[in-house]
Amino acid sequence: MPVSLFAWLVGVFVIAAAMLDWNWFFEHPKAKFFVDHFGRGGARVFYAGLGCALIILGIVCRPQIQG
């Protein structure tokens, strides 16, 4: 799987987790660090921004089609 597609898919997943406020996502020990430091709302904003950044990375790094 190309890196650009993987980044795009992970970005969409992370934005969905932030928008839908998935408990299982935000209670994970690695996400809990951000919840503890920024609060639940702040962590949701952080992860939404991270998801947007990953989507942009996936778009910028997509392979160019030579024709």
What pTM does this model have? 0.86
The share of the chain scoring above pLDDT 90, in percent, equals 79
How sure is the predictor about 49, in pLDDT bands with cuts at 50, 70 and 90?
very high
Question: Which of 51, 50, 29, 47 is closest to 38 using CA atoms?
Answer: 47
Backbone φ, ψ for residue 63 (5° rounding): -70, 140
Q: Which range, of 5-14, 16-25, 56-65, averages the lowest pLDDT?
A: 56-65
- pLDDT at residue 37 in the model: 95
Whether 64 has a pLDDT exceeding 90, the answer reads no
Whether 66 has a pLDDT exceeding 70, the answer reads no
